[in-house]
Structure 1
């Protein structure tokens, strides 16, 4: 019973207007640390996330992930994302990014285990999609148009899991042309030829197992944006976006149900506590909920 009280208290503490995660996928990089599929060679995840963002934009973001275990220590995952955004400026649905991530787990005879990951995010759009011929902000785009390096380290200790990761833009292919001054809405920051800074992440997770079927994982996620993003203004000068550097704190609850030894369903509910002053990347979410079907073979 105390487990359910903890979960209800955790959910009830969420605030509902804030910054979401970094790029779709970055907040779930720890999945490659914790998925226990070493008894099989392969796993397929079919997932979908719904969310609400700035100016009541609604999001539907399905994705698929394939993981291959080459040994008990080493695995590689490939993830394909899609996003549909619908709001006052119209609707846009497109493929987003491809994530390729390798994970290595170090052998340990103790209660703790270290692991590392290294990966790449590959954009499938240049973030320049228009709606009815008009440029739209990044909140309506399915990708930020950057090739990113993702690197991290994790520690499992008994029922606790801690991980930290870096998402570093390597190549910027963002060709967005949105200007706040020329738009019918002034709710979004100008992002013409947007350039974004890196993010660092720290997550702490606690695992609660009630029986052989249900597992609960409440966790806190800290994301720090390492500098102010920039755009090219109407005069052609690169301009910093004040307030775009800073900390985001997200709360998340993951509930997993084991259908069988090789099949499971996972529900994730998240919302932020703390926000950056400006979020020009369009990743603001007041609330997200995700459902994943996992099949190992």
Structure 2
């Protein structure tokens, strides 16, 4: 009986209508999946000083661009503080070509003020300025391995037995050097209505995550979450004459459902399988972020 709600939640993820599944699955500007904002396995972390994670996720960006994101993460715990470093790589492939390379590194610190309340702060540092090109023409944001911005990340989480409530804010401190203009491409090359992002000005995001934790037997832990993300303003770009153009309807809400299945291989190792999909999305997403996410992660503590 206690698992009925969780089962219904998981089934909902697999029955999202196709038009919604082609919406944005996570803000994925960085803060959705970092330590202390992403759901974690739980109390066993307290007895280990070091955690190492290696994983890969697959998704789809706008305009049928495939997105593969390998990553490595290291977390060091001491007393009531945890320091983490997450290195992300990116491979993006579509009709306009394939791009690959290092994407971002995300550095965070978290502080446990007590058994229930935790604060998080960090930065996202890009390895490029989202300025990759092909055939002498700038590529749209869907093909960029990074947003190309330096970002500030802050957040807090409150744990209540099997429920965890998390709030976070990610704010770009700089903007990127993307120079894509739709009209630069010859007629017939772009089969989809890509949004111009020359001189792109991206606004920040806030999220609220509600996570429920449940155990299934001795080996499995299920973390299911509802993840609303609000993009705080309409983004903008510069036209050929240098005039700022507002990208209407790029502000607004994306409501995601996420599940994380954790299989405990031993007392200090685990595998995690994840799935995320949206049920509501903002209409225009010029940043080219992933629309859904499937992932697998290996975790070892020592």
Where on the TM-score scale, by shorter chain, does this alignment land: which range? Answer: over 0.9
In structure 2, what is the equivalent of residue 190 of structure 1? 196
| 1:177-217: CA deviation from partner (whole Å, max 9, x where unpaired) | 10011222152100002110010000001111012210111
**CA distance in 1 between partners of 2:28 and 2:173 (Å):** 14
Mapped to 1, the partners of 2:136 and 2:101 lie a distance apart of 16
Deviations 1:260-284 (A, max 9, x none): 1110000001111111111000014
Number of matched residues? Answer: 290
In the TM superposition, 1:126-137 aligns within 5 A as 126-137=129-140
SS at match of 1:191: coil
Give the structure 2 partner of residue 231 of structure 1. 237
Q: Is the 8 A contact 1:247 1:274 kept in 2?
A: yes
Aligned partners of 1:24 and 1:197: how far apart in 2?
Answer: 11
2:155 to 148, 152, 156: 152
Distance (Å, rounded) in 2 between the aligned partners of 1:11 and 1:239: 36
The counterpart of 2:66, out of the listed 46, 49, 58, is: 58
CA RMSD in angstroms comes to 1.6
Deviations 1:148-170 (Å, cap 9, x if unpaired)? 10000101101001100000111
Structure 2 CA distance for aligned equivalents of residues 220 and 158 of structure 1: 17
Alignment match, 2:270: 264
Contact 2:92-2:98 at 8 Å conserved across structures: yes
Taking the aligned partners of 2:27 and 2:13, their CA distance within structure 1 comes to: 21
SS of structure 1 residue aligned to 2:32: helix
Gaps of 5+ in 1: none
Residue among 41, 46, 49 paired with 2:49: 41
Q: TM-score, normalised by structure 1?
A: 0.93
Q: Give the deviation of 1:23 after TM superposition.
A: 3.5
Give the aligned partner of residue 32 of structure 2.
27
Give the aligned partner of residue 142 of structure 2. Answer: 139
Deviation at 1:9, TM superposition (A): 2.7
Residue 128 (structure 1) shift: 0.3
1:1-297 equivalences under 5 Å are 3=3, 5-15=7-17, 16-29=21-34, 30-31=36-37, 34-36=40-42, 37-71=45-79, 73-108=80-115, 113-172=116-175, 174-183=176-185, 184-185=189-190, 186-285=192-291, 287-297=292-302
Identify which range, 189-198 or 19-28, moves more after superposition.
19-28
